Amino acid sequence: MTNSKKKIWNGNVRDAALSILLEVANNQAYSNLLLHKTMETYSIAPKDRGLLTELTYGTLQHRMTLDYYLQPFTRGKLDKWVRELLRLSVYQLVYLSKIPPHAVVHEAVEIAKRRGHKGISSTVNGILRSILRQDVPSLDEIEDDITRLSIETSHPEWLLRRWINQYGKENTIAMASRNNMPPTMTARVNTMKATTEEVMEQLAAEGFQVSKGEVVPECIRVSGGNLAKTAAFTNGLLTIQDESSMLPVLALDPKPGMSVLDMCAAPGGKTTFIAEKMKDDGKIFAHDLHDHKLSLILSSAKRLGLESIETQSGDSRKLTEIYPASSFDRILLDAPCSGLGVIRRKPEIKYNKQESDLHDLAGIQADLLDTAYHLIKENGIIVFSTCTVDQVENMGSVSEFLRRHPDMETIPLNNLVNDAEAMKGDMLQVLPHHFDSDGFFVAALRKKKSER
């Protein structure tokens, strides 16, 4: 963080949240990574971490709504940091009933004094006090249904119209509303080291509220603390991972002794799950475009006690230059995508994406799938997955692949989840409100044996 670094040192949680919001706005940084970095680098006290997370995510999630509330009270151009400070303050006034309004105004004015000058602090004070006197405008004043839904849920109109076209209005409202709720913390038990029940008992003894996941046997749902600081995590008994993100590995169905390729592997959650499913017997070749991310995979493997994983960086579209044709029993392609299924974890995605971005990725996905086709054995399985909910990126990419390669067939995945709404033919499209997880797409594709 640039000139705002010193502000965080004063221990003010609102200053820290403002610095994160500015970094997101100025550099399109990911809020989840910045939050973690801020907490660790500046030793944010445990009692303040919840508030910092709430302020950061809440202000980002409701940005368009907050701008609508601010619009009648602001005149002329505001510096970026002033607008972010006002958004942060109005979020507290409207959404956080436990914080007294006078405290919100006082903190905002003090931050404005430290970051700006007396004139700016007077402006901030005047705007916030006017809002307290007059209240924010009602959303009912917006006549158009889509525009009102857009402002109410803080999702761009183009995205809502696209979702309505693909999933209907009811699912769109449910999805957009769920995107503004905190994500559920889930973890995957390393069954090579412990049973799900044993890990649940350990975490309960440390004060966590723990329950079983909705669909994945190895998944547990957790609240009440920081899982990464537990003995169970340190000792390799679990991996923090969203439940939907575990489904591609179940679809892959890896067995001990197999040769498996993970084409876009970092940060390694699925890679290590594959190794656990294989009882660490066989070989997993984990590739990623970014060399610096491979250390994440290796450190996770070491913590979990896994030795069957090899890593290598480079463009996975060129893997046919490294491996002979028909080299692998299983291939996982967790493909680059728009990320529209993980808006709860990265709220800024919904503001940073354009509709054209969704089509730009189709070519990359096609090239990666064609590479996987050449490297999979006969009767082998390719799993194509994404963390988006867009049908063009998902079913569209798979349909085009099947058209290009008629010797490939889909494998029904209706045994993976008990929610019929998530099934799209043989393929699986989880929406955030189906079982309170990330939006995720999974398709399993088998190469048919050639007739000789």
Residue 108 near residue 123 (C-beta atoms within 8 A): no
d(CA 298, CA 190): 16
From residue 310, alpha-carbon distances to 275, 327, 329, 355 in Å are 11, 15, 16, 37
pLDDT cut 90: percent of the chain above it = 81
CA 368 to chain centre: 22
Q: Is the pLDDT of residue 5 over 80?
A: no
The two structure tokens encoding residue 8: 């965080």
Q: What pTM, to 2 d.p., does this model score?
A: 0.92
Pair 150, 87 in one domain = no
Task: Write out pLDDT tens, residues 191-225.
Answer: 999 999 999 999 999 999 999 999 999 999 999 88
Same domain, 59 and 21: yes
- Cα–Cα separations (whole angstroms), residue 277 to 89, 156, 329, 370, 415: 48, 40, 14, 26, 17
* Residue 337 a catalytic site member: no
Q: Are residues 44 and 70 in the same domain?
A: yes
pLDDT of residue 8: 40
Over residues 335-355, mean pLDDT: 94
Q: Same structural domain for residues 82 and 117?
A: yes
Q: Does 424 reside within a domain?
A: yes
Q: How far apart are the first and last CA of the chain?
A: 63
- The span from the CA of 412 to the CA of 428, in Å, is 9
Q: How many secondary structure helices (H) and strands (E) does the chain include? A: 19, 13
Same domain, 235 and 342: no
- Is pLDDT above 80 for 115? yes
Residues 253 and 234 in one domain: no
Report the CATH number that the domain containing residue 101 is assigned in CATH.
Answer: 1.10.940.10
Secondary element (H or E) of residue 160: helix 157-167
- Rounded CA-CA distance 53/49 in Å is 6
Same domain, 292 and 410: yes
Within-domain flag for 51: yes
345-360 mean pLDDT: 90
Residue 11 has pLDDT above 70, yes or no: no
Same domain, 101 and 235: no
Q: What share of the chain is helix, strand, coil (3-state, %, to 5)?
A: 50, 15, 35
Instruction: Please report, for the domain that includes residue 223, its CATH number.
Output: 3.30.70.1170
Beta bridge partners of 430: 440
Residue 452 domain-assigned (yes or no): no
Q: What is the pLDDT of residues 251-287, one digit of tens each?
A: 999 999 999 999 999 999 999 999 999 999 999 999 9
pLDDT of residue 452: 59
Q: Which two tokens stand for residue 19?
A: 């610095």
Number of domain units in the chain: 4
Say how many C-beta atoms besides its own lie within 10 A of residue 141's C-beta. 8
Residues of the domain holding 212? 185-240
Q: Contact, 7 vs 115, CB < 8 A? A: yes
Structural domain includes residue 359: yes
> Of 69, 83, 79, which Cα lies nearest the Cα of 137?
69
**CATH number of the domain bearing residue 330:** 3.40.50.150
DSSP letter (8 states) at residue 310 = E
289's CB contacts (< 8 A; 6+ apart) are 264, 313, 314, 315, 316
Quote the tokens at residue 200. 């649940």
| Shared-domain flag, residues 248 and 146 | no
Q: What is the pLDDT of residues 226-236, one digit of tens each?
A: 899 999 999 99
Active-site residue among 219, 264, 337, 387?
Answer: 387
Whether residues 270 and 212 fall in one domain: no
Helix (H) or strand (E) segment spanning residue 78? none
| Per-residue pLDDT tens over the stretch 398-413 | 999 999 999 999 999 9
- Could you tell me the pLDDT band of residue 36, with boundaries at 50, 70 and 90? confident
| Residue 314 located in a structural domain | yes
Mean pLDDT computed over 75-91: 94
Q: Which of 240, 256, 272 finishes a domain?
A: 240
Strands 328-334 and 258-262: parallel
Residues 328 and 433 in one domain: yes
Largest distance between two CA atoms of the chain: 84
CA dihedral 89, 65, 130, 143 (to 10 degrees): -170
Are both 55 and 103 inside the same structural domain? Answer: yes
Q: If you ran DSSP here, which 8-state letter would residue 184 be given?
A: P
The band of 356, judged by pLDDT with boundaries at 50, 70 and 90, is: confident
